[in-house]
Amino acid sequence: MKKVLCLFAFLLLITGCNKQENKVKTIVQKNNQMKIAINYPITKEKRLDQKIQKDVKMRYQNFLEQQKEFVAIAKDAEFNIDYTYDIIDQRYMMVVLKTFSNSNLLSSPMNDLDTYVFDKKKNKFLTLSDVISPTENKKVISMILNKLKKQYPDCLLIDRVKKLLNQFTKIHFTFDEEQFYFYFEPYEISAGYFDIMMISIPIENLGLTIDINEGKVEKEWKKIETTTRVIDPNQKSVALTFDDGPSVYTNELLNILKKYDASGTFFVIGNKVEIYSDTMRRMVQEGNEIGNHSYNHKWLTKVSEQEFLDQINQTQQVIKKVTGFTPRLLRPTYGAMNQSLRKRSELKIVMWDVDTRDWESHDIDHILKKTIQNTKDGSIILMHDTKKQTITILERLLKELKQDDYQFVTVSELDKIKQLQKYEK
């Protein structure tokens, strides 16, 4: 019964709505058997959002059913949904959901795909037949086939490829101002290859039935004027840290930090940075610190060395682009650590000694009591800025700790204080 209730609560998280402006829905959960991280965009187009939520729910339910069937032996399971999201000509909305699942029950990881091309003006989903002239179909199929052969020469099952391409309206695609992108699930058309397959063809080579303005204008980010903070090395200090954001709640947390002359360290997920660019820039401007928490919350101790580097470097790059700040800190996803991760990371790995467990319990009084009991000078406190209740927890925590003469600093500021105190001794 407990498992059924947990699933019901999780599905409410997926389908629930929020009066505040939500741009990305984030769900991160873990237990001894599985790690779950789901991120998908909220587009504010009702039909599109309902379809995305329905598909996310279906993907997750299918994964749970598989685990439940072999519950006695299921372990080390991971379920991850990542996304890309773009709007072309203020009209065409592109969303790609990539679902990764793995466990000891599978012989190899599963990578599944959902793509959505939505015309805001007509309030409809588009297929390739809606955007490419019928007279161009054979030409486009030939180009896709040749591109696939060139990019994936050793694993294609040509008969399957041809069969799929003849189902023209079912081909996964998106586009931007310059390229069309075609996506394929590896199990449909290949053998011995497990990642999502993608090729691109320049728009100028395709006969389109829609007009797309060419040339993408990159947004220019102005330099941020940061706040100068005064830190007393002789005062008791704690570092407040927030994982899994930014989110719809992050600005409220920033308001509270500012109110108490406090700063925090936000370990962010890279695929949310540009969508919450204003929030990210505010973090830096008000003297907070940004850390790296991977690009899409994959289980970092389970990925290959190359994927680990991609997860970290993509996040570094997008944070630098949006804020001008390059993170020096890494918090491993799910708090999972091993020697391999330590060797791979050039960033300083930051854990914690006080876990509020704000993701697990709704008993705010209990959370506060345990957190304050465990907090001492030099503590690093873990919270999550994807949880609404963390707003209340933070306000009350700062109020009580301030009365006990604590100052609230970033992780890097705390390191400097500890170094100075060690030097003085």
Q: Provide the annotated active-site residues.
A: 243, 384
Q: Report helix angle 137-151 to 158-165, nearest 10.
A: 150
Distance CA 29, CA 97 (A): 19
Cβ atoms of 238 and 375 closer than 8 Å: yes
Environment class of 104 (CB within 10 Å of its CB; exposed 0-12, middle 13-18, buried 19+): exposed
Distance CA 56, CA 208 (A): 31
Which segments of 277-358 does DSSP mark as H helices, in order?
Answer: 277-285, 305-323, 339-344
Distance CA 227, CA 11 (A): 41
C-alpha distances in Å from residue 215, one per residue of 179, 212, 218, 366: 10, 9, 9, 55
What one-character-per-residue DSSP string does 385-417 give? Answer: TT-THHHHHHHHHHHHHHHTTEEEE-HHHHHHH
Q: Distance of alpha carbon 346 from its chain centroid, rounded?
A: 21
The per-residue b/e assignment along 217-234, b for 16 or more CB within 10 angstroms, e otherwise, is eeeeeeebeeeeeeeeee
Cβ atoms of 16 and 58 closer than 8 Å: no
Residue 166 tokens read as 């003849």
Closest alpha carbon to 101 in 93, 111, 92, 91 = 111
Distance CA 417, CA 411 (A): 10
C-alpha distances in Å from residue 13, one per residue of 16, 147, 346, 402: 5, 40, 35, 33
